[in-house]
Structure formats: structure tokens, C-alpha cells
Amino acid sequence: MSASMHADRRIPKDADRVTSHRERPPVIWSIAGQDSAGGAGLSADQRAADAMGVHLCPVVSALTAQHSRGVDAVFPVPTGQLEGQLQALAGDLPPRAIKTGLLGSVAAIEAVAHWVDHWRAQTPGGGDPHRQLALIVDPVLGASAGGTPFGDEAIVSAYRTLLLPRATVVTPNRAEARRLMGEPAAHGGPFEALPALARALRALGARSVVITGGDAPAQPNGPASAHCLDWLDTPHAQGWLTAPRVPTPHTHGTGCTFASGVSAAWALGHVEADAIVLARMLTHHALTRSHAAGQGAGPVMAAAGFAAGAQAGGAPLPWLGLGEDLPWQLTLGGTDAPVPAPLFQPFEPPSDGLYGILPDSVQLGHALEAGLRCVQLRHKARAGLRPHLEESVAHCQAQGTQLFINDHWREALQTLTPLVGTETQASGANAPPAPVGLHLGQEDLLALDATDRRTLLDARQRLMLGLSSHSLWELARAAGCGASLIACGPVKPTTTKDMPWVPQDTDNLSWWVRHSPAPVVAIGGLLTPNDVHEVGRCHPAAACVVRGLGNDLSAMHVQVPCLQQAWQAARHAEPVAPALLPHPCLPTSFAPAHTHTNRTIPELAGCPRTLAMHTLRPPEATGLPADTPCVGLSAPHA
């Protein structure tokens, strides 16, 4: 008899109290097929969950007779056996997310819908049913290696009527997306058609859709011939999410890995768009670790360390495009270099590490006199803007100081145009003009129309571009735009702006620094020398200081030297230890900024007729309640 047979298996009554959160990771269920070859299905799901640091409960919905070259047979698990597995888990391991893979039968799809309704019926009043329980649907309708098909028309119809209306995220490849919409399955075709296809899937009820492009043939003459193109359509972000293709024939389990990565990231508290960014990185890294097994495609191998940064052997940060355009870095920049150069003029980090943000030209002049050599004019009012622009430009050109102008990019371009070809006396005769740049928030970036984008891009050879970022998807978008610098914030709680974001703190800031292709500046709540010292240990390019500079010249003469000393001390201090994963950038109860109406869902035995889609809170809402875990719930009756 083994030693484990003699072990005391009694669980102490206070087990929840003596087990820390880190020792009790979030739980997800994967209801999927068992791959006898160990490549896809529950095998891939388990590897992905382990890499993400969540606990996966593998629920077998189908057995497959398959190998590396294809699938010989599929054996759906009888309904009673499937329900028995789910009933056993319900009282002890309630999930934060359910991920589905190969289901194999209409009865299995009905069982999934039944359980989703059960868990979501526990949603607190005014809460988000998807945050109570997420449903991540990987609509496995066939094997990429070929063989026995998995889904007939009855199964496809059940997906459309039972799972899509309940889905938090649907992750089809192009062929699966077309089948779900009643079209012939095909991986090819113009990629420009995918946004409309994703909108059609969302119209069937899915809250978020990502159509993956790894199975699609590369377009030799296209702008993205060496990149995988995924179309992302979520309540928070839409656009092309791109990453370099990994040259390997061993791709078995990529779709399962990706969907499980989305599920795990959601369970850790990330919203859909950020979860998809992390899942894309997880899948890319798994492809780089794939290996041969058998005579066909070998398995991809998800593992921890995928988000450690490209220089540490992790996956590169993907790029996100603007609207339906491919990322500018992909279409206009060089993609062969390990770290592509910015499209706009490069940012030179100031030697003292300080990036001062001032409201008008008077205070900006005071900041320069106090010793700052990198400043931003953040003059919010449009009225009276021109004199402040002109005076700020004159101040900075006279002293050879880098200047960024916030938001008012059209007026800034008009003011800065005469500088092209001019000289400044700051460093003697014939010195080039001091570097100038524009800084845009993500809302301003998204508001640019096609003409605005072209105007901005036409100026890229003479201007720097700074972009704000508060989330992983915004970081990916800023990287895709080829920005000169990327601001990460808010690092600490701030009252300068009313925002819904969770403070990044040093763990996320250090993650930004490792993954951004452009220099990162820290912003938000940096008021004291201690604050500057703390962020300086994360090694950003600069620390942005607003209120911490003071309001007049005398205060700045006192504050600026203290801040400079704090920065220099941080450069010699022990750096902040890197985090394995970033923490969520939005509160777990944060919901998309729009209102859903009640959606009627086909009635299932013992389930409500509708899922109440509550009015969702706008981004301005702060002080949101903490997530409520679903524990101690009884299982539904079959």
C-alpha cells in the first residue's frame, strides 16, 4: 500500500482561512475532448492552465481515436457521465470560467448551457453575469490535421442558438467562423472580410469575438506575409491583433491553447481584450516550444515564462491596429528587426529622469529655469491656446529642451511647421532645432479619421509621438503605432484625471518596461521624491511629474533637485523584481460602457428563460465593488 493511502485525508474546517490566495488559484473548467495523441483537447488545456497559474478541472465530453496525422473516430461521452462529472465538481470546485472545446453532441451543448445558466443565476443584483461566470467557446468543428468531422449541422445549429447567446468570448478560426454563420468552411479569402464576420457573430449574442488567423495561409505579397492576423472585437477594443508567425510544422493544439489562455486570464481578473493579448503571447510561446511527435504535426507546449519578455525568452508583445487598419508598424515600418525602430522620431530619455507636465507656458518656463530638460505642455482649454504654444516652443528651442504638446495636435503641427529647417542658438550657431513631439491619449488616437491619420503619419520624420496606455490592449496599440514613447499609468492613485483604471504599481510598470518596444515613461500619482525613487527602480525612461513640481518658481527650485536626486539614487538601487504576469488593469466588476437589453435564450429544463443583462456602468464610475466569488452553490437537478 502506498504512503498516500495512509495519509490523513481529512480537510480542516478552517482550510479556507489557512490557505492563502496564492496557494488557492482560481478554478476553470474545460469541457472538451480527450486527445489520445496528447496534443490537443484537454492535454493542451492543462498545459495552458499550468502556464497561466490557474487550476483546471478537465471534464471529458468526448473521447477521440486520433494521432498526429488526423482523427479516426470521435466517441461522445454519454450525457449521464458528463453530468456526473459536472455535478461532482459543482459542490467543491466552482468555476470562474468554463471553456468548451470538442463537445461532440447536441446533448453536451445543452448541458453546458444548463450549467452556465445555473451559475449566472447567482449573479448579485446589478452585477455582470459574465463576471459571475465566463463562458469561453472554442467551436471545435473539425481537426486541422483532417479525418473524421466533429460537427454536423445539428451541432452547428446548437452552437448558434445555445452557446453563442451565452458566450463571453468565442474563439473560432476563419473556417469555424464561417461555418457558424452558415457559410462554407474556408481558411482563405480576403482578411478584410473578417470584421463584418465578427460583427455577425456578436449579433448572435456573443459578447466578444476573436477570429484567429494562424490556420490561414500567408499572403506572400501582402503587408502581413510573415505575421498572423487575428481580428479582435470586444466591448473595450477592436482591431487587428498581429504577431510574427512561428516557422514550425508542429501546431497541434494551438486553438485549444489560445482559448484556455483566454479563460485563465479572465479567471485571473482580466477583461476580454487584455485576456486575448495574454492568450496570444501564450500561444506564440507555445509554438516556439513545439516538438515532433509521430509522423504528423507535433504538439505546441505552453509553459510558464511566456510573459517574461522577449529578451528573457518569452513571447513578443503583439501589435494592435487602429480601426480596421493593420498596425502602422506592420505596413510602414521594418518588421525584420527583433525590436523594430519607432516610426516617429526617437525619444531621448532625459539624463535626470524627469518629464515635467505643465498647464501653461508660464509654469513651463519656470520648470525649465528650475532645471528640467523634458517637458510637456498640457493646456486643456482650446481658448487662448496659441500664445501658450508659441511661448512654450520658444522657451524650449532657446534651451534645447525636448517639448511634447498634449492633445491639440492640429494646432501644434501649425505652430511647429516653421521649425523645420530652422536653427537654434542653444548649442551655438547652426545647431538643429530641439526635439518636439505630440502626445495623444488613446481616446484622441481612436478619434482620428483617415485624413487625420495620414496627416500625422506624414509628419513622422520630424516629430516624436507619445501615446498613453492603461491596459495591455492599449500598450499593444501604442506599440503597433510605432510610438516614440509610451506612457504607463496611472502608476499610483491620482486625482488629476477621473479614470476607472487600477493603479499599475511597480509590478505592472516593470512589465511594461520589459515588453514595450519604445521607451516607457511612468505617470500618475508621482508626488514626492520617494515616489520617483520607487518607480525609478523599475527602470522606465522617465518619471512624469505634475503636481509634484510645485506651482511657482520658488517651489520648483526646491522640488526639482530633490526629484533629480531621487531618480539618480534609484538607478543605483536594487531593481524591482519582475512580475510573472501583469495584474488586471480594470476592476473585476468593471463592465463595458454600454447597455444590453434582455436577450431571450431558448429555455432549458430547470433554467430561467432569460439572462438578465444589467445596465453596465460607464468608465467614469469608480469605487466599484469587489468581485463576488460563486461558492457554496448546490448543483442543478438534471
SS3 content of the chain, % helix, strand, coil (to 5): 35, 15, 50
**Cα distance between residue 342 and residue 465, in whole Å:** 9
Say if 592 falls within a structural domain.
Answer: no
Task: Name which of 6, 45, 12 is nearest 28 in CA terms.
Answer: 45
Is 603 within the bounds of a domain?
no
Residue 495 CA neighbour count, 13 Å, CB half: 3
Question: What is the sign, positive or negative, of the torsion defined by CA atoms of 232, 236, 237, 241?
Answer: negative
- Where residue 495 sits, what CATH number does that domain have? 3.20.20.70
| Residues 513 and 635 sit within 8 Å (Cβ to Cβ) | no
Tell whether 359 and 390 lie within a shared domain: yes
> Do 440 and 304 reside in the same domain of the chain?
no
Domain end, chosen from 544, 572, 600, is at 572
Q: Mean pLDDT over all residues of the chain?
A: 86
**Whether residue 438 is found in the same domain as residue 378:** yes
Find the mean pLDDT for residues 539-568.
Answer: 97
Listed residues 515, 538, 572: the one ending a domain: 572
Q: Work out the number of other CB atoms within 10 angstroms of the CB of residue 239.
A: 26
**Quick check: 341 and 431 in contact, CB under 8 A?**
no
Length of the chain: 638
Q: Which residue has the higher pLDDT, 381 or 572?
A: 572
Decide which of 6 and 153 is more confident. Answer: 153
Q: Round to whole Å and give the CA distance between 377 and 425.
A: 22
Q: Give exposure, 622-638, as e/b (b: 16+ Cβ within 10 Å).
A: eeeeebeebeeeeebee
Whether 206 has a pLDDT exceeding 50, the answer reads yes
Range from 34-38, 347-351, 575-579, 587-591 carrying the lowest mean pLDDT: 587-591
Instruction: Provide the CA 89 distance to its chain's centre, in angstroms.
Output: 30
61 and 191, same domain (yes or no): yes
Domain boundary among 528, 556, 572: 572
**Cell numbers that stand for 501 in this block:** 483604471
CB 98 within 8 A of CB 115: yes
> Are the C-beta atoms of residues 311 and 514 closer than 8 Å to each other?
yes
Which range scores top for mean pLDDT: 221-230, 236-245, 416-425?
A: 236-245
Q: At what angle do helices 254-267 and 272-288 cross, to 10 degrees?
A: 140
Contacts of 52 (CB under 8 A, 6+ apart): 260, 261, 264, 265, 268, 278, 282, 581
Q: What is the pLDDT of residue 431?
A: 55
pLDDT score at 335: 54
Do 99 and 116 form a contact (C-beta atoms < 8 A)?
A: no
Taking the alpha carbons of 554, 491, 440, 309 in that order, is the dihedral positive or negative?
Answer: positive
Say how far apart CA 206 and CA 166 lie, in whole Å: 7
Taking only the tens place, the pLDDT of each residue in 457-477 is 999 999 999 999 999 999 999
Query: In this predicted structure, what is the pLDDT of residue 434?
Result: 80
Residue 298: predicted pLDDT: 92
Query: Are 329 and 365 found together in one domain?
Result: no
Residue 599 lies in a domain: no
- Mean pLDDT computed over 485-507: 91
Grid cell listed for 504: 499599475
What pLDDT, on the 0 to 100 scale, is given for residue 383?
79
Phi-psi region of 188 (alpha: psi -120 to 50; beta: other; left: phi over 0): beta
Q: 215 falls in which pLDDT band (50, 70, 90)?
A: confident
First-residue to last-residue Cα distance in the chain? 38
Mean pLDDT of 281-294: 96
Q: What is the dihedral of CA 153, 159, 162, 163, to 10 degrees?
A: 170
Residue 414's pLDDT is 87
Task: Please report whether residue 396 resides in a domain.
Answer: yes
pLDDT band with cut points at 50, 70 and 90 for residue 333: confident
Query: What's the whole-number mean pLDDT along residues 498-502?
Result: 86
Does residue 425 belong to any structural domain of this protein? no
Bridge-based pairing state of the strands 70-76 and 238-244: unpaired
User: Which of the four pLDDT bands, split at 50, 70 and 90, describes residue 419?
Assistant: low
Same domain, 385 and 298: no
| Residues in contact with 203: Cβ distance below 8 Å, sequence separation at least 6, in sequence order | none
Record the pTM. Answer: 0.88
| pLDDT tens-digit series, residues 249-272 | 999 999 999 999 999 999 999 999
Q: How many CB atoms lie within 10 A of CB 390?
A: 12
Per-residue exposure over 272-303, b if at least 16 CB sit within 10 Å of its own CB, e if not: bbbbbbbbbbbbbbbbbbbeebeebbbbbbbe
- Percentage of the chain beyond pLDDT 90 is 71
Half-sphere CA count of 35, side-chain side, radius 13 A: 25
Q: Check residue 591 and give its pLDDT.
A: 42
Query: Do 325 and 411 lie in a common domain?
Result: no
Residue 486 three-state SS: strand
Contacting residues for 577 by C-beta, under 8 A, at least 6 apart: 510
Residue 587: inside a domain, yes or no? Answer: no
Query: Each residue of 158-179: pLDDT tens digit?
Result: 999 999 999 999 999 999 999 9
Looking at the structure, do residues 323 and 361 belong to the same domain, yes or no?
no
pLDDT score for 143? 61
Cell of 417: 511647421
123 lies in the same domain as 241: yes
pLDDT tens by residue, 420-451: 444 444 444 455 678 899 999 999 999 999 99
Choice among 67-76, 238-247, 480-489 with the minimum mean pLDDT: 67-76
Q: What is the number of helices (H) and of strands (E) in the chain? A: 21, 20
Residues 275 and 382 in one domain: no
Where residue 336 falls among pLDDT bands split at 50, 70, 90? low
- Domains of the chain: total: 2
Distances 210 to 69, 176, 299 between C-alpha atoms, Å: 27, 12, 22
In a domain, 348, yes or no: no
* 120-147 average pLDDT score: 86
pLDDT > 90? residue 226: no
Euclidean distance between CA atoms 33 and 175, whole angstroms: 20
| pLDDT at residue 221, rounded to an integer | 67
Phi, psi of 91 (to 5 degrees): -80, -10
120 and 220 in a single domain? The answer is: yes
**Stretch among 63-67, 204-208, 567-571 having the lowest mean pLDDT:** 63-67
Q: What is the CATH number of the domain that holds 212?
A: 3.40.1190.20
* Rounded CA separation 497/495 (Å): 5
Q: What cell was used for 254?
A: 494551438
pLDDT at 397: 92
Which comes out higher in pLDDT, residue 320 or 497? 320
Domain that holds residue 270: 27-333
Q: Give the pLDDT band of residue 418 (cuts 50, 70, 90).
A: low
Question: Residue 133's pLDDT band (boundaries 50, 70, 90)?
Answer: very high
Question: Helices marked H in 91-193 — which ranges?
Answer: 106-120, 129-132, 153-158, 174-180
pLDDT band at 3 (very low <50, low <70, confident <90, very high): very low
User: 566: helix, coil or strand?
Assistant: helix
The reply to whether 138 and 233 lie within a common domain is yes
The span from the CA of 567 to the CA of 572, in Å, is 9
Q: Is residue 484 part of a domain?
A: yes
